[in-house]
Structure 1
Amino acid sequence: MTRRGLLGSAAGALALTVSAPVLRAAAPLNIVATTGMIADTAQRIGGDLVAVRGLMGPGVDPHGYRQTRSDIVAMTRADAVLWHGLYLEAQMESFLADLARKVPVFAVAEAVPQEKLLSHADYDGRYDPHVWMDPLLWQDVTLEITRALSSLQPESTDAFARNAEEFLGELDALSAYAVTHLSAVPQEKRVLVTAHDAFGYFGAAYGFEVVGIQGISTDSEAGLNRISELVSFLVTRGIGAVFVETSVSDRNIRALIEGAAAQGHDVTIAGALFSDAMGQEGTYEGTYPGMIDHNVTTIAAALGAEVPDRGRLGKLAVGS
């Protein structure tokens, strides 16, 4: 079934649950979302029919995040909680399982079909959770968020479906922009070295070799042997550009640069990428499309492709 068909079917099925005409506008749904990416998408789909609170702001690492007392209050009072799943919020899983007995709780990334997920040698039986790195995979999450909101407020299903269709089109355009500019990076330069292994889906989508100092979780430690291996990798391959992440310490990246310098090989930080969190609230980079636009534009420019000065829509901050 097509995407439009899925949205239409959901709207039709949920419309049947409304037994009487709605005479007044429903109060906005009180939604709590764990990550900024989920919060932004839920707000785009819900519009003024939802009030969304995101727990994890700019620079926050979801892998080790623990709920605060105010988070607990917000989630227990919410109409629903949207969390990522796929073991991203590992420290919160037992709390969310308990909460699900009282409040509707949706693990929205677990709607991504299993055949689209990447397994990881370090995590037997689990999958790489960083599906937001590919806008086309994020479409599956968008559809799941749409279904969740529609189940909570059936009378608004048509409005949610319209907003979702518009957002899905934006994700199509974002993906097309990424394909165009990342394919212009010379083949020999398509190596992305970052602080942790958050860019696997990015690499799979756009044909990049991705090397993270840490594994897919920032809880994993990068020992001296790992740093030494990657120094040799950079020197042997002649790689001169690496990237830091806004939600991960740059300590290991700087150790890598120093190790390469000790062997007479210059490596520079080519830019800062948004990996597990978006940019500052109120900025374009603080939205999901802006986050991806920034990453694509930064990577493509640093590795030799021509890109628009301020990204796909000319909205990126100067020097972003």
Structure 2
Amino acid sequence: MTRGAYMLAYLAALIILLLPFPITYVGVAGGPGGERRVALATTTIIWDMARNVAGPGWRVEYMVMPGRDPHTFEPTPRDMVKAAEADLILYNGFTIDAWILRLVTASSRAKVVRVTEGLEKYALLVPDGPYAGRMDPHMWMDVGLAIRYVERIRDAFIEVDPAGAEGYRERAAKYIEELWRLDAWIREEVAKIEPSRRLLFTQENAFQYFARAYGFKIVGYFYSMITELEPSPLDVARAQKRVEGSGLCVFFIESTLSPRVMEAFASRLHGRVAGRLYTDSLGPAEIGHDNYISMMRYNVETIVRELSRWC
């Protein structure tokens, strides 16, 4: 039996002991007995979208903490209790949070919704590595597709609580307006970069959708999808080959990954590590990147500033 299987067996046994003592969320009316319903998102990005739609009758929680990598997340007993107590579970799908499907068997009441449902026709494929040929999960990096997430989240709340449909539609519409403004702003900012410099080298290949939407070229990366393993010498050699000839000298690190390999790589190529970007997780509240819009604005400001500066 694998380590993951042992963990799941342990969690399943533990949940039987914990369930007689349910977690309650006291607040405004929403669920039985005046308790708020609980919506559980796998990632902080989906969590932020959901809390913009949910309204006061819901408590919206996340599983993967800010700054943590959902690719490598291992559920805890507390997470299994959360899944069992939730009324609605929202997940991204396409491998990044597949672990949630192993937890929802403990839940007898949650509606489980993949927020990327219906977006397959917009999907890009993972180009290489162990997940080559599968759908790239990072659709939220294109704000236009993030809006589709919000629409699916809105519909999920309505399916669980039809009586609150008007409120969910109003809140979603207001948030979607903000997202369209964000999308327009990104395009204006990117236009400030000289076209020949619209090149990206990042640690993880998480910017395919961003690049397609906003006119960038992905020069290279270390991690195709598997972020728990250090890049091999062959991975580094391939990455170096991609960079050579492009003239690129600006390299971006990501908030959930160690910068060590990237710093050595940039030094070897006489380039520089330009900034830390947020992709798989929001940042901490104290630095102001704790919501999707501020995260995207920060990323774009960093990319525009550093690529305009160049070497």
Question: Normalising to structure 1: TM-score of the pair?
Answer: 0.81
* 2:255 is the counterpart of 1:246: yes
Q: 1:224 to 1:125 in 2, by over 3 A?
A: closer
Range with bigger deviation, 154-163 or 209-218: 209-218
In structure 1, the partner of 2:8 is none
1:103 to partner: Cα distance: 2.3
Q: Distance in 2 between matches of 1:145 and 1:235?
A: 43
In structure 2, the partner of 1:60 is 68
Q: Deviations over 1:118-149 (max 9, x none)?
A: 01233355200001101110111101111111
In structure 2, the partner of 1:183 is 191
1:130 equivalent among 138, 150, 158: 138
Q: Deviations over 1:156-191 (max 9, x none)?
A: 110000000001111100100111111221111111
Identity of aligned residues (%): 27
**Counterpart AA for 1:201:** Y
Secondary structure (helix, strand or coil) at the match of 2:38 reads strand
Q: Distance in 2 between matches of 1:124 and 1:101?
A: 35
Q: Distance in 1 between matches of 2:158 and 2:258?
A: 39
In structure 1, the partner of 2:14 is none
In structure 2, the partner of 1:257 is 266
* 2:96 is the counterpart of 1:88: yes
CA contact (8 A) 1:227 1:255 kept: no
**Counterpart AA for 1:212:** Y
1:272 equivalent among 276, 281, 284: 276
Q: Distance in 1 between matches of 2:66 and 2:222?
A: 22
In structure 2, the partner of 1:118 is 124
In structure 2, the partner of 1:318 is none
**Counterpart AA for 2:238:** E
Question: Normalising to structure 2: TM-score of the pair?
Answer: 0.83
Q: Aligned pairs, how many?
A: 275
**Counterpart AA for 1:278:** L
1:104 equivalent among 99, 103, 111: 111
Q: 1:179 to 1:80 in 2, by over 3 A?
A: same
In structure 1, the partner of 2:172 is 164
Secondary structure (helix, strand or coil) at the match of 1:236 reads coil
**Counterpart AA for 2:188:** T
Range with bigger deviation, 221-230 or 197-206: 221-230
1:214 equivalent among 209, 223, 227: 223
In structure 2, the partner of 1:21 is none
Range with bigger deviation, 228-237 or 271-280: 228-237
CA contact (8 A) 1:139 1:171 kept: yes
User: What is the alpha-carbon root mean square deviation over aligned residues?
Assistant: 1.9
Matches within 5 A, 1:265-304: 266-281=270-285, 284-304=288-308
Secondary structure (helix, strand or coil) at the match of 1:30 reads strand
Q: 1:270 to 1:112 in 2, by over 3 A?
A: farther
